[in-house]
Structure 1
Amino acid sequence: MATAELLQQIQTGNLHKRILPQAYEAQIKPISETLNNVDINVEFDPKKHLAFTPDCLQTVKRTTMEELGAVCDDQISDIGVSAPFPLFTEEAVEIMRAEILREEVFSQWARVSFNSTTGLDCTIRGYAKPTCPFTYRAWTHPETVAAVSAMAGVELEVIMDYEVANVNVAMRSEDEAFNQKVSARRRSSLADKTDSDIPAVVGWHNDSYPFVCVLMLSDTTEMIGGETLIKTGSGEIVPAAGPAKGKATVLQGRKLTHLAALPVGYTERITTVTSYRAKDSTKPETSVLKTVKPENNFGSMYNEFYPEWISYRMKVISDRAIAIGEEFERRRSNGETFDKDAAFEKLKDLQAYLQHTWKEMEVTDEEYAAHYSKK
């Protein structure tokens, strides 16, 4: 059972997990200062800032769920994962970096990653709309969403504002980066490793939301590794290359068990992740909260995250309720006999979705204990 102290910490935004000012000064501010000449007041313009072209659909490899041996009834696309593709221009990436790395963003929104071993790895969630208008507009612009949808093979929409461009930051000193490269040179291939041997940023997991798009904001020239590894239906481990700066990958992460392999040799690694569901609310919507709710993720702010979760779920329920009503009215207008069994199934599905909405917000004693152990 959660203690009063722990509940207070969670409900007030896990303030005890903020990035210490001295850590920002030492690690982030020097990078931010190199971006002082970047104008963050620029309006996002897809003609200038979007690097995606329709040619990507022919030139960029997209691996299907069938090829991965992972076909399932509730997938929302035949596409499982894409190779890296150009999404934003260099100018757009530099503006995003300049916005995100400001001290006011870090002091309010950044939290130590729940799996950080150094205290320098952090996550920044929910910040985009209130503090970074270029970044928010870049990800939510219809042409950007259309580009991500095209690569994903299904029309998508951002699941909620809180999940726009969530940032993962990892920092290493130059000496540490050099030593990593010397000791690593990557001990040959990943093929020689078992599931449990692979060093990971995040271990084997499924995402909370149907689709994600991961964008790299750092120069990866000196980085070794950092692939996304996907476990196929047969248990084989398939690597999907990590993106270079300005490039992105899409992944049907809710349905694919995957791992973010630990890269070495970098001094900074900054990625942003935006999550999506199918725009058609009648398609399967299998989201869960295991990796993102405030009781499990220090970066999710209790008073901001949960209201958005409820709002988007109620929109889906509303869309589905309207669709059910329209379907049976259409059948009646066509002179069809009323199908009570079909109506029962649709209404039960709607009820199950509503129940799942609040069940996902429940927190087990084990989850509270895990959160407390990370205190």
Structure 2
Amino acid sequence: MASAELLQQIEDGNLHKRIPISSYQEQIKPIFETLSKIDISIKFDPKKHLAFKSSYLQTIKRTTMEEFGTFAKDQISNIGASEPFPLFTEEAVEIMRAEILREEVFTKWSRVSYNSTTGLDCVIRGYAKYTSPFTYAAWTHPDTVAAISSMAGVELEVIMDYEVAHINIAMKSQDLAKNEKINEKRKLSIGGSKITNDDIPAVVGWHNDSYPFVCVLMLSDTSSMIGGETLVKTGNGEIIPVSGPAKGKATVLQGRKLLHLASIPLGYTERITSVTSYRAKNSMLPETSVLKTVKPECNWGSLYDEFYPEWINYRMNVISDRSLEIKKIFNNALENGEKFDKLKAFELLQDLENYTANTWKEMQVSEAEYATHSKFDKENEN
């Protein structure tokens, strides 16, 4: 059983997992100071800040689910993943960085990443709508959503405000980054052994995302990085790399249905990504979201009193949409003189019932999840 202390810590917003102010001042503030001339009061303008072009649909490779060998009946698109494509301009990215790395944002909203390995690894979640108007507007603007939808092959909408521009930050010292480059070059020069399926160094190991689609935007200069690709495991066990994006570029991934891994890049001093999650805009399409990687009991960046109400709100919106659509289907059939289809009614209503039940079932926390939380707490103390 979870201890009363652990439960209270989670309900209080995992405050014990906040990044110390000393860590901010030592590692993040120097980066923020390079952005001091950036005007964060600028309003997002898609004509000025959106770099996407419709021609990318013909020039950017998009790998299908069939090509990955993982076709699923409840997938919402035949597109599995895209290669990196320009999404936001340099100015837009710099404004986002300036908003996110402010001390008042960082110290309130950042939390240690539950899979932190070396350096300063943290997440910033749920902040955008309240503290970063440019970032929030950039991701939620209809033109941006339309661009991402076109690359994903299905009309999407942001899953909920809490998942707008989820930030992952990893930091390393310059000495460590330099040594990594040297060691990698040395290994390549002597024909380093091939990495197997089971020992790929990863930021996040093999997993499926909690939401149907994600768009991952790079906010850091990756020109000096080595590696860092997303690796997707196909239906027959083959591993296919999807290139990591450069600064201002993004990739889309149907991560709920693709088993994938985020490999660890080498040679960087900072790596900041911004991730927004989506579901199909058509509420009648499959909606398979779960809370495995994002619930407050597992992801310390999800704040209990803020995350769960948003989860319930978006699920109730889907339930409402589906209820109205079911009503419309049978009213139209009646008006058109069609026979009542009881089997179809059963199918639609059972699906609605299951979706409603899954809303609360996903909020349950297993003893294993509580144990994992406690394990990381003990390791952090040591």
State the Cα distance separating 1:373 from its structure 2 match: 1.1
AA in 2 matched with 1:342: K
Note the residue ranges of structure 1 that are not aligned, 5 or more in a row. Answer: none
**Given the alignment of the two structures, is residue 47 of structure 1 paired with residue 47 of structure 2, yes or no?**
yes
**Given the alignment of the two structures, is residue 164 of structure 1 paired with residue 164 of structure 2, yes or no?**
yes
- Could you tell me how far apart the structure 2 residues matched to 1:24 and 1:93 are? 20
2:62: which partner in 1? 62
1:32: which partner in 2? 32
State the Cα distance separating 1:185 from its structure 2 match: 3.0
State the Cα distance separating 1:339 from its structure 2 match: 1.3
Secondary structure of the equivalent of 2:355?
A: helix
AA in 1 matched with 2:252: V
Q: Is the 8 A contact 1:57 1:150 kept in 2?
A: yes
AA in 2 matched with 1:371: H
Of 300, 316, 332, 2:334 maps to: 332
Deviations 1:80-129 (A, max 9, x none): 00000000000000000000000001110000000112361000000100
- Could you tell me how far apart the structure 2 residues matched to 1:60 and 1:24 are? 38
Aligned CA distance change for structure 1 residues 228 and 153 (closer, same or farther; 3 Å):
same
- Could you tell me how far apart the structure 2 residues matched to 1:190 and 1:74 are? 41
Q: Is the 8 A contact 2:322 2:352 kept in 1?
A: yes
Q: Is the 8 A contact 2:119 2:170 kept in 1?
A: no
State the Cα distance separating 1:191 from its structure 2 match: 9.5
Secondary structure of the equivalent of 1:250?
A: strand
Deviations 1:120-158 (A, max 9, x none): 100000010000000000000000000000000000000
Note the residue ranges of structure 2 that are not aligned, 5 or more in a row. Answer: 378-382
Q: Is the 8 A contact 2:228 2:264 kept in 1?
A: yes
- Could you tell me how far apart the structure 2 residues matched to 1:211 and 1:228 are? 14
AA in 2 matched with 1:183: N
- Could you tell me how far apart the structure 1 residues matched to 2:332 and 2:186 are? 61
Q: Is the 8 A contact 1:68 1:232 kept in 2?
A: yes
Q: Is the 8 A contact 1:292 1:300 kept in 2?
A: yes
**Aligned counterparts, 1:60-99, within 5 A:** 60-99=60-99
State the Cα distance separating 1:374 from its structure 2 match: 1.2
1:2: which partner in 2? 2
Q: Is the 8 A contact 2:51 2:88 kept in 1?
A: yes
1:148: which partner in 2? 148
Q: Is the 8 A contact 2:119 2:171 kept in 1?
A: no
Secondary structure of the equivalent of 2:210?
A: coil
Of 318, 322, 329, 1:320 maps to: 322
AA in 2 matched with 1:367: E
2:380: which partner in 1? none
**Aligned counterparts, 1:106-255, within 5 A:** 106-118=106-118, 120-185=120-185, 187-188=187-188, 192-255=194-257
Aligned CA distance change for structure 1 residues 190 and 81 (closer, same or farther; 3 Å):
farther
- Could you tell me how far apart the structure 1 residues matched to 2:16 and 2:86 are? 38
Q: Is the 8 A contact 1:186 1:224 kept in 2?
A: no
1:374: which partner in 2? 376
Aligned-pair identity (%): 70
AA in 2 matched with 1:356: N
**Given the alignment of the two structures, is residue 308 of structure 1 paired with residue 310 of structure 2, yes or no?**
yes
State the Cα distance separating 1:192 from its structure 2 match: 2.6
Of 322, 347, 364, 1:345 maps to: 347
* Superposition TM-score, scaled by structure 2 size: 0.97
**Given the alignment of the two structures, is residue 271 of structure 1 paired with residue 273 of structure 2, yes or no?**
yes
- Could you tell me how far apart the structure 1 residues matched to 2:224 and 2:118 are? 21
- Could you tell me how far apart the structure 2 residues matched to 1:367 and 1:283 are? 30
- Could you tell me how far apart the structure 2 residues matched to 1:289 and 1:123 are? 16
- Could you tell me how far apart the structure 2 residues matched to 1:339 and 1:174 are? 67
Q: Is the 8 A contact 1:112 1:119 kept in 2?
A: no
- Could you tell me how far apart the structure 2 residues matched to 1:184 and 1:141 are? 41
Secondary structure of the equivalent of 1:66?
A: helix
Cα RMSD (Å) = 1.2
